[in-house]
Each structure stands twice: as structure tokens, then as C-alpha cells.
Structure 1
Amino acid sequence: MNIGVFDSGIGGMTLLHQAMVLMPHEKFLFYADTDHVPYGTKSKEQVISYVDGVIQFMISHDCKAVLIACNTATAVAAAPMRSKYKLPIIGIEPAVKPAVAESEGKRVMVVATPLTVHEEKLRNLVQRVDNAHLVDLLALPRLVEFAERGEFVSEAVTDYLKEQFSEYELERYGELVLGCTHFNFFKDTFRKLMPEQVHMIDGSLGAVRQLARILEAEGALAKPLAQKAQSWEKNKNDISVRYFESGREILDAGKLHYIESLHERLEKMRLL
């Protein structure tokens, strides 16, 4: 059986990549809902409808679990989907709690999509863990657009982030939470713009580990988990994964080559 991973676009490959590193013996199905990207600017009702359709697709394609590799979709749709379907559905949320715990009194910046920033789930999370009022939320909608067209390192990306950060005293920050899976593609640019003491954190590895724990507890892993993360470069040709764009399987050699280049970039970003 497969592990289904999906997002509105390529951002979910962040979690797919982590899952391939942690569980290289599993079979994966990756679904990018490119007909509806980005989710972060859609209504709550629209996103719930999209996610419902994707999970039905996953079930019809023999998925034993679904990883919602999208902070926005998790925030608005994970709870109703878990109520509706029996298979494990794991989501991802901004890693605010560990960021606050590690901030040592410095401020914490959470960057995400507009819908995630304004959604009650994130605001409740911040209220629950941010007793010292250290957390700032910043929406970066254009980063999703840059990512979807494969523009990861450019003057336009740098200028956009500089403009968005211009109202903040960055020296006051200790943690930067990447609250959208698309944003991991830009870790090198974030690193250049942020002061040296700022630590970047995201929830992708935590979500994948949670998925692995659930499957392990159910005896549903293809093989026992390795003691440490495997080499993606070493295992990439042996990992079984099928890619879909809004239900259409990607078979074109050019597109598959581009997807491999995205994995190569994510591996570099993972090791930063």
C-alpha cells in the first residue's frame, strides 16, 4: 500500500523528501493540486472541498495513510477529514512551540500564507504557548508564486523578502518559523537575510516522524525504521513514488527530471 502526500503545489515535496529519507522502503504517491494552487488565498470552504477530493483520490489509489503536506490545508481541513475518514491523516503546523521554547527570550517570527496567518488554529496555538508575547506573524504570499515557477534564488526573491522584513528589527529575533512547506525551498535566501543568531525551524520532520510512529504502532511499515536518516542520494533510484497533478499522473520525462531537480534542491536545504 502507498503513503499519500499532498499539497496545493510543489511545497509538499518538502515532506515527501523527508519521508523518502526516513522511510525509503515505503511506496509513495505525491499529489500536487496545481489546478487550485495556492490554497493560502482561497476561502476556508474551498480548501475543505479541495482536500476532501484529494483524500478520496488517495483512498481510491490504495493509500494506507495520508500526509497533508500543507500548513493551510491542515489548519482548515484536517479535523473535518479525520472525522470523515478512517485512515490515518497527519497534518503539519508551524513549529511555534519548539521555537518559543528555544528562543531564550528573543522574538520569534512565523512566516506563512495569509490564510494560515489569519486562521484561528494558528492564533490559538500562539496564544497557548506564547506567554511572553514574543511571536510575530508575517504573511508572505508571493513566495508560493515564486516557488511554483521554480524561482528560488533571484534578485526578485531577495528584494521581496527584504521589503517584507523592512519593518522588523531582525536583530531582536532568535527563531524563524517556516510556516508554509513552500518556504523550505528558500532557506538559503532566508539564511543570508537573517542575522547569524536566528535559527530556522519548520514542522516537516516532526510531521513525518509522527506518521512513521503511527504506522509503526499499527504494524503497517514496509520495513522497520532505520536508526538514523538514510541518504536520499544513495536510495533515490530505489524509492517507489508516483507523482500526480490534480489527479493526472506525471509521466513526461521533462517534468520528472524537473521534479528530481527539486529533490536535489530540497536535499541541499535539508542539510543547511
Structure 2
Amino acid sequence: MKIGIFDSGVGGITVLKEALNQLPGMEYIYYADTINVPYGTKPKENVKKYIFKVVEFLNDKNIDALIIACNTATSIAIKDLRERYDFPIIGMEPALKPAIESSDNRKVIVTATNLTLQEKKFNDLVTKLNSWNIVEPLPLPKLVEYAESFIFDKNIILPYLKKQFEKFNLEEYGTVVLGCTHFPYYKEYFKEVLPKDIDIIDGNYGTIKNLKNILNIKEKKDQKESKITFYISGREDKEELKKYLNILNK
């Protein structure tokens, strides 16, 4: 079975890693649209054009299912994509429901890109869960830029995170949601900045579990080795592939 995974850049590698854990033995095509990254700070209509171009490319590769490993792309395009294509399309959204359930009646901070937090999909989710009184959005666009530049230096990341969280009285909060697939790279730094009793969650595990259920894939013994092909904005690039594999194997 051939599964496409698409992100604006390196963020979706965290989703691919979870897919390899839960669904070994599959053929994966990973597409990073690095020419147009970041999506989260660009005009919505421009980003939508990028997304449809990528998905048409993957459709031509005869994929059986698609994971949009980008919260921003999911927010602005998944409905239209599902109307156009017949294969299952799994999107990302901030893991708000489990965050609320684990917050012990305290507030929840949802970190994501600006565009994700501004979109109707996110606002509808908060409204559906009747949680506007406890949910605080926090855009962290610089983390996307850092990840795409392969910057993981603690001396750069920690000061940025500390500054972003200093506006909150963190004793009031029970959970922080990593609502962008780039953010799990920095999970250990989030732990250093936040009080130890705050849970930090992302949507990667639930996304792949959802895909398994939709495809009705059961666990099998003696799985063959997974095959991964990387495309960087439409071209297969072995040099970039090495960088991505280094991140994947961390």
C-alpha cells in the first residue's frame, strides 16, 4: 500500500516517524514543499494553490491514501481536497479534545501557526468543545523557521520559548498543545520552559491511528521493510534526503 505524506517542509517528518512506528512495511512518498515554506504566514489563497499542486502530484503517483501532515494545510484545504479526490485523506488538527480531558479543569494553551489559529476550522473546534473560556491560542511562527533551517540550538530556542510564554501565568494551565508538526522537534525545550505538571501533547499518534482505522489495517508479524521516497517541491533530491533522514533517525 502506497501512502503519501505531505507538509510544507520538514515538520511532517515527525508524522512519518509515527507512521513508521504504527504502520511498518508500507511504501511512503514524502513531499516537502520547501520552495513555499512557511505556509502559516502567507495569504490563504496562495497556500491553497500550493496545496492542490502538491496533491495532484501525489495523485499522479497512484497513492492509496494521503496524510496532510500540516495543520495549516488541513485547516484551509481538506474539505475541498476530499471533494476532489477519491482516496482517503487524513488531516492534522490541534489535539484539543485530549488536551482538555487531561488538563484537570485548568486552562489549555494551543501553539500553532498564525494561519491555523485564525482559520474557521480551529475556531469551530473550540466552539464545538465549548472551551473558549479555557483555551488560549499562541502562535509560534519562528519555530517553523528554525526547523526549516535545521536550527535546534538550545541557546536559540529556549530564549524564544521563554519570551513567548512569559505573558501567561502558567500555574493556571494544565496542558500545552503542539498544534504544528514542526513543534515536536522542540518538545524537550518546551519541557524546560514549562512547569513539570503541565502536559505537552501533539496530534501525531492519533492521526496515524485514525489512518489505520480508515484503511482497516491490522497488525501483522514479519513486516517487510518500509520504503520511503522523498520529493522536495516536485523533485527527488538525494542530498536533501540525507538531512531529512538524519532528523527522522534522531
Using structure 1 for the length normalisation, give the TM-score.
0.88
8 Å contact from structure 1 (residues 22, 226) kept in 2: no
Letter in 2 for 1:152: F
> Post-superposition shift, 1:128?
1.7
In the other structure, the counterpart of 1:247 is 234
What is the identity, as a one-letter code, of the residue corresponding to 1:76?
I
Structure 1 portions without partners, runs of 5+: 266-272
Change over 3 Å in CA distance of 1:172–1:153 after alignment to 2: farther
Query: Aligned letter for 1:250?
Result: D
Residue 89 (structure 2) aligns with: 89
After superposing the two structures, state which structure 1 stretch, 88-97 or 43-52, moved more.
Answer: 43-52
196, 209, 219: which is aligned to 1:225? 219
* Structure-2 change in CA distance of 1:185 and 1:131 (3 Å): closer
Provide the secondary structure at the position in 2 that maps to 1:181: coil
Structure showing the higher helix proportion among its residues:
1
Is residue 13–residue 244 contact of structure 2 (8 Å, CA) maintained in 1? no
**How many equivalent pairs are there?**
250
1:27 aligns with 27
Query: 1:111 corresponds to which residue?
Result: 111
Aligned to 1:269: none
Which residue number corresponds to residue 128 of structure 2?
128
- Residues 9, 37 of structure 1: 8 Å contact kept: yes
Provide the TM-score with structure 2 as the length reference. Answer: 0.95
Note if contact 2:8-2:37 (Cα within 8 Å) is conserved in structure 1. Answer: yes
For the structure 1 residues 132 and 245, does the alpha-carbon distance in structure 2 shift closer, same or farther, using more than 3 Å as the test? closer
Question: Where does residue 187 of structure 1 map in the other structure?
Answer: 187
The letter of the residue matching 2:249 is E
SS at match of 1:41: coil
* Contact 1:153/1:186 (<8 A) preserved: no
Q: What is the aligned-residue RMSD (CA, Å)? A: 1.8
Structure 1 segments (4+ residues) deviating >3 Å: none
The 1:107–1:226 alpha-carbon spacing in structure 2 relative to 1, beyond 3 Å, is farther
The one-letter code of the counterpart of 1:204 is N
Match of 1:258 in 2: 243
**Aligned partners of 2:139, 2:177: CA distance in 1, in Å?**
12
**Structure 2: tracts of 5 or more residues without a match:** none
Looking at structure 2, the residues matched to 10 and 257 of structure 1 have their Cα atoms a distance apart, in angstroms, of: 12
Task: Answer whether contact 1:70 1:91 (CA < 8 A) is retained.
Answer: yes
Describe the SS at the equivalent of 2:81.
Answer: helix
